[in-house]
Structure 1
Amino acid sequence: MEIKISRFVREYGDYYVRFFVTSKDKTFETEAMVSGSEAAGKSHDEISALALIKVKPNIDYNMSQPDELPSEDIGDMIGKEVKVAPAALQSIRVLGPASVFTTAAGPVSSNFNAVPIDQYGSIIESSAVVWSYSPSEPGIEIDASTGRLTANRPDLAASVVVTISAAIGGVVGTLQVAVNPPTGEDVLGRKVAELETESVQTMLAVAEAYETAVVNNTQREKEGVDTMLRLTEVYDLFLQQQVEIEALKAEVSTLRGC
């Protein structure tokens, strides 16, 4: 086997070395690139030796393969214009959080975005996206035009997994999202809020009961005063009657003495 350099060029700081390999049964070429950083401080001979090390596995592989049919030029393809098909929507990549945590304080929202991809793997402009999710869950909604997911489930006990879908025409992209219950801190906060509410309600109830008691006591005191006044009037009447009785008795005694 004989190996000779058939091309040795430097482009933009990197070296490209092509080798022409011949043996009794085979002839082929193989090439390697030596970067500028790899070639720094090395001579051309050292660079070619480094390139040969890189292509050695390829040379060994080609030498181990059975003889192939000779190459053949397909004449009708030479000079033929290659037309590239215009970009067309091939897939949709959905971007957004994989997990959403509900809160005890109220609704929580997350935004999702759709990235249209063409058949060449490039991002393209596309028409409006229609958003949806499944399966349907109470308290979870998504804006069909913006992709904004809102979860209002402070009572959620276990995580649920929903599939976010972005559709453009007949092409659909999806992303699975876990909607999780409130964290321990949120649950504690909700409990504190509930206790505070209960405390306020209790205080209001106590205040109302106190006001009722005061009103009742005032009413009873008023009734007691009225009763005492009536009793006083009766007692005064009784005393007046006693005076009149004593006066009558005195008059009777006087008449008897006569």
Structure 2
Amino acid sequence: MSRTGFAAKSYRTRGIILRTQKLGEADRIITLLSPERGVIRAAAKGVRRTSSKMGATLEPFMEVDAQIVEGKSLHTIIQAQLRNPYGHALVADYAAYTAAHAMVETAERLTDSEAESIAPQYRLLHGAIAALARGGHEPGTVLDSYLLRALATAGWAPSFTHCVRCGAVGPHQAINIPLGGVVCHDCRPAGSLSPSPQTVELLAALLAGDWETVDASDIASRTQAGNIVTSYLQWHLERVVKSLKLVERR
């Protein structure tokens, strides 16, 4: 019972752990993304003790089922069961680990309180984290594909096949970040980028999930595409995603 004499409300949700931070001597603050409730910040009591049953469960990138008690500013996790231990595979691969950090930081920034936008973002993050954990694709390309799709879901869908000004069918040789994609020769404003045709093709494949094309791309195209995706993300977020600086591309 609370001090007011009323029992605190509790709820159950699944979620992906975005990050953790120390609280006191033995506790942690857990930030997780729920498909129903968005970003949740909750205290987990005693999880830093070696005897804690939840300590290994409430780690970044894990998908969990959690029982949570509501609080005014900080909720409390009273029970957590592991659904998918993605973090175990990711911590063993530095490139995948850094890509996952950039994903969860972006997901936290993009997820707002509007219920209709939460579930699609959750599904995208879940699929991307799972793909990183499985391996099979270069982590940087999984990250770039996720970032483009997450931005599209948030309402900022780029175009890499049609001119974003006049709609002319490509291929086009220039990309304008503020306009949101490729521009034809007639519509090209000053300051547009001139990536290689292979890079433009790769960007379209990353957005569409054409992994046959993505996996066949060369390192130079991946590097150039990654820089464009990063610029596009930061243009719309209007903030730097710090984790992107640590991403290892190969």
TM-score by length of 2: 0.18
TM-score by length of 1: 0.18
User: By percentage of residues, which structure has more strand?
Assistant: 1
Q: Which has the higher contact order (CA 8 A, sep 6+)?
A: 2
